[in-house]
Structure 1
């Protein structure tokens, strides 16, 4: 129960961060993919810094959730960030949610419930040796490098989607280090100083954060948000299985699990369309 509650609180905090950071990033002039000047420019914007504060709060809630639950349980719950984002935008713009938005929220919720109920993630996970995580790290770096390289040659919308997928995978991989770091803290807190997991967590988190900013800046929200929302939990389930030995149901259950993911993706797309129509200050996302 603690894992579920903290994961939902993390989703609320991440939603607040998305609203604030999106508002700052969209007003920036066009920057090349992964240009360091984007972050430098955003540092001058108080609204963006407030978003960073919300993101840190989300990180803390996520860490608590991962210390109490499986990666394959906690990360999919973060999909609720998108409905929470829609609600926050509606509150800021002082306009209620329309029927389409409520339908989309229901689809995301139903898809998430279907996936978690049918997948039934199990297994506690554990701190793993570097050699055990090395194959996942090599594959992750290769995939992210390929996505970033491809994004340089794409137009705005596909570039935002591609970088959104990269950011989602990056945050999922960061979550593997968060889980290990919290487990180490519970077992032997002083050992964190000499352990590699906390430093890997910081490095992976910063890289993912940069990818997220460029995804939000590169193209329309309609392209970036669904890609980010779905790639994180899907990648997290794979990491949970391959790194921590977590298990989900297979066989015929895969059909229902896939149906849940499809509902999440479709609902996320509808919500992103609504978000693209109602920015906090009334302008469309670019």
Structure 2
């Protein structure tokens, strides 16, 4: 009924809306975690189960969760209409919005370096999505591809478990952000796999395994994110996720799912250049954003 170009453009629009909701959700959840728990903890580390349960009573945290649910729904809708490597990088828009929103809330004036970083991120993500939209192809989700994704995820979960056990709970924000980014990259990939297999009417145990793995990775990744919020502003968390999450998802989409198999050499090079520009912008934003340097203990009202 509609041309593939229109469908992909609509999917990109859905992903942009999802990124906006992601930004709002991150801001509200971060405010709730840092206001009620981070100030009373002697050092950055794991939130206790009691603290996690306490967040369920906080209106600000629940509001943030509602925004994140909306973000997930829009993202899943976008993944149903377009290849993974087209949709997932758009999440970097959440970093730009979070930076602007957080600066507005805390009364921080953004400097020229911050605006340059935002511009680089926008150009990089826009370029990557533009190339992907014209070259990415929809692929069949075979049993072999599904098993590869789930198998790598299980290996990573074992590695995370070993590293956290050896650290004896002394885990910083960057470690939590890295873990969440990797897990969310697999969440997006598994979501794409499950959606595609449902469209293919592959209602079997492997599809159920992928769905269970998706839910497990989502829950664990969410726990990682809450602990990262307790150690710093949402800019830092979103900055890490918008580098690691899309990078992992794009690598899976290209190397395992084969969504870029029709891309020319020039398009592959364009992928790399756009990705480098976007990552440079994210890292620069993390380095130069004034709110990350400002020692301000004021908190927004709940």
Please indicate the TM-score interval, normalised by the length of the shorter structure: 0.7 to 0.9
1:125 counterpart residue number? 139
Is 1:70–2:64 an aligned residue pair?
no
Distance across 1 between alignment mates of 2:293 and 2:59: 24
CA contact (8 A) 2:146 2:193 kept: no
The structure 2 residue matched to 1:266, chosen from 265, 270, 280, is 280
CA distance in 1: counterparts of 2:281 and 2:231, whole angstroms: 22
- Say yes or no: does 1:81 pair with 2:89: no
CA deviations on 1:65-117 (whole Å, 9 max, x unpaired) are: 00010101100111111001123224444666443332221010111133334
Deviations 1:130-189 (A, max 9, x none): x53223323233334434654674998x82122212111211211123223333555659
Q: Distance in 1 between matches of 2:204 and 2:145?
A: 19
Q: Which residue of 1 aligns with 2:3?
A: none
Residue in structure 2 matching 1:116, options 129, 138, 142: 129
State yes or no: 1:162 paired with 2:178.
no
Determine which of 199, 203, 214 is the counterpart of 1:201: 214
Aligned length in residues: 281
Listed one character per residue, the Cα deviations across residues 198-219 of structure 1 (whole Å, up to 9, x for unaligned) are 4333222222211221222245
Match of 2:21 among 13, 21, 26: 13
Query: Whole-Å Cα distance in 2 between the matches of residues 34 and 125 of structure 1?
Result: 41
Q: Aligned pair in 2 of structure 1 residues 222, 83: CA closer, same or farther (>3 Å)?
A: closer
User: Structure 2 vs 1, CA of residues 107 and 39 (structure 1 numbering), >3 Å: closer, same or farther?
Assistant: same
Contact residue 162 and residue 227 of structure 1 kept, 8 A: no
Q: What 5-or-longer segments of structure 1 have no aligned partner? A: none
| Structure with the greater alpha carbon radius of gyration | 2
Q: What residue ranges of structure 2 are gaps of 5+ in the alignment?
A: 1-8
1:5 to 1:66, Cα distance in 2 relative to 1, 3 A: same
1:56 to 42, 47, 69: 69
1:107 aligns with 2:123: no
Aligned to 1:45: 58
Quick one: structure 1 residues 229 and 69, their matched pair in 2 at CA, closer, same or farther if it must change by over 3 Å? same
* 2:33 alignment partner in structure 1: 25
Contact persistence 1:72–1:240 (CA under 8 A): yes
* Contact 1:111–1:260 (CA under 8 A) maintained in structure 2: yes
Contact 1:161 1:215 in 2 (8 A): yes
Shift of the 134–34 alpha-carbon distance from structure 1 to 2, 3 Å rule, reads farther
- What TM-score, normalized to structure 2? 0.77
- Residues 95 and 235 in structure 2, CA contact (< 8 A), matched pair in contact too: no
Residue in structure 2 matched with residue 146 of structure 1 by the alignment: 159
Distance 2:227 2:237 in 1: 10
User: Residues 188 and 135 of structure 1: is their aligned pair in 2 closer, same or farther, counting only changes over 3 Å?
Assistant: closer
Change in 2 beyond 3 A, CA 1:178/1:281: farther
Alignment root-mean-square deviation, CA? 3.5
238, 243, 253: which one pairs with 1:240?
253
Do 1:112 and 1:264's aligned partners in 2 also have CA atoms closer than 8 Å?
Answer: yes
